[in-house]
Structure formats: structure tokens, C-alpha cells
Amino acid sequence: MPKTRKRTIIFAALLTSLSLSAYAPFALAKDAFRLPAPGTLEVAPKGLEKAVLAGGCFWGVQGVFQHVKGVKSVVAGYAGGRADTATYDTVSEGKSGHAEAVEILFDSQAINYATLLQIYFSVAHNPTQLNRQGPDSGTQYRSAIFADTDSQRKVAKAYIQQLNQAGIYGRPIVTKIEPLSAFYKAESYHQNYATIHPNNSYIAHNDLPKIANLGRLFPNLYSIRAKIVRG
């Protein structure tokens, strides 16, 4: 049985299927909209590439990108701190420097880094919330892009400037661009959590709407079958 997080649950709901139709009743629970695509594209070799993104609880961010076509795997974990503090108990104290994050392995010939950022800002989280997402607060829930290359850093910086200049959110984006020094895989009970536990009230209220919005706003990129982390 996974460890219970100390959260305030606003609404509890039960789902018995992970099909898009099952997500549909929750689609209005999150005010999401499709943002314009980034004007700057990454210069990168064709093939497999990785992106590390943080946007609140890694359950939901992982759940979203597990349903994106072109993505090969999504691992929940920690980034921003040291190896010896990369455990859930330590990160939860909010003093480790880590953020709950996901490592996305994707085929750059099927989907590019810029499009992943478009999804990240459109449906995976709210980039105007400082050190929090929904009921979760603390620096471990910060909005952060961990750039693996200089090209990724340039694309992310340009996109944040683009969105801020357009005034789309009405508030400034607080997402930080941080260098990726290392990514540490989270404990096994955190992997595939949204897929395995759709009946969990936290997942039903906070995360299933994000996946529903992915299917609604990016239908051509939505995959019904989630990419499951093994091991």
C-alpha cells in the first residue's frame, strides 16, 4: 500500500476505466486551454532524447506524458538536489533542493522538445503558482524545467518570454529554468501511480482532468494506452 500523502482532498470521485471517455466528466475541473506553439525550436540530433520537467506532484505530470504519442517512457523522480537526499521522505520536508520531476524519453522524429513544453504549460500544471500546485505546497512542488542541453535551455527561455509577452495567463510565469545535473528515479510505489490508482480521490480530482484535457486539446498527440514504467 503506497504511503499516504498529507493532502487536503477537495473532492472525491471513483473511476473504473482509464479510457478518454472515463476522463471526460472531469475535463471541466481544470481550466486548461491550448497555448500557442513555441516560436523557437530545438536544434538537436534525430533520435531518442530526454526532457526533465517539474510541475507539482509527479503523479499527475507522469500521467499526462505517459499518454503522449512519441514518448517512449516517463519516469517519476527527483531533480535539483544531491543523490543522498533523493528519497521521498527527505524531499517531502522541502529542504533538499529537489523538485518532484519526471524524466521523459522521447523520439525527436515523432515529437519535438518544443511540443513537450507546449503540453507542459497547457495541461500538465499551472506555471503561475509559486512553489505549489493545487493542494500541494513547498519548493519540492515548484515549476521547473531542468535543461539537459544548451539548446533546450534556449527553447524554454524563449517560450516563457513568448507566453509572458502575450499575457496569456494574466499573471507572470514563475517557472524556473535550472541546469540538469542529475535525475534520480523515485521509489517504485510512485511509478505509474495515476494509471494504477485511478480511484484514488487525489488522482481523480487533480490528475485525471489533466489527462482529459490532453485528449481534448491535443487529440492528435493523445494515446489511450499509457507507457508503463517497468521495474
pLDDT at 63: 98
Mean pLDDT of 153-178: 95
Q: Long-range pairs for 20-24 at CB < 8 Å and ≥24 separation?
A: 20/212, 20/215, 20/222, 20/224, 22/198, 22/208, 23/208, 23/209, 23/211, 23/212, 23/215, 24/212
The C-alpha cell at 69 is 504519442
Q: pTM here?
A: 0.87
Q: What does pLDDT average to over the chain?
A: 88
Number of C-beta neighbours around residue 116 at 10 A: 25
Distance of alpha carbon 70 from alpha carbon 220, whole angstroms: 11
CATH number, span 44-217:
3.30.1060.10
Q: How confident is the model at residue 6 (pLDDT cuts 50, 70, 90)?
A: very low
pLDDT at 106: 97
Residues annotated as catalytic (active site), given as ranges? 57
Distance of alpha carbon 209 from alpha carbon 215, whole angstroms: 10
pLDDT at 7: 36
pLDDT digits (tens, 9 = 90+) for 33-86: 899 999 988 877 778 999 999 999 999 999 999 999 999 999 999 999 999 999
Q: How confident is the model at residue 13 (pLDDT cuts 50, 70, 90)?
A: very low
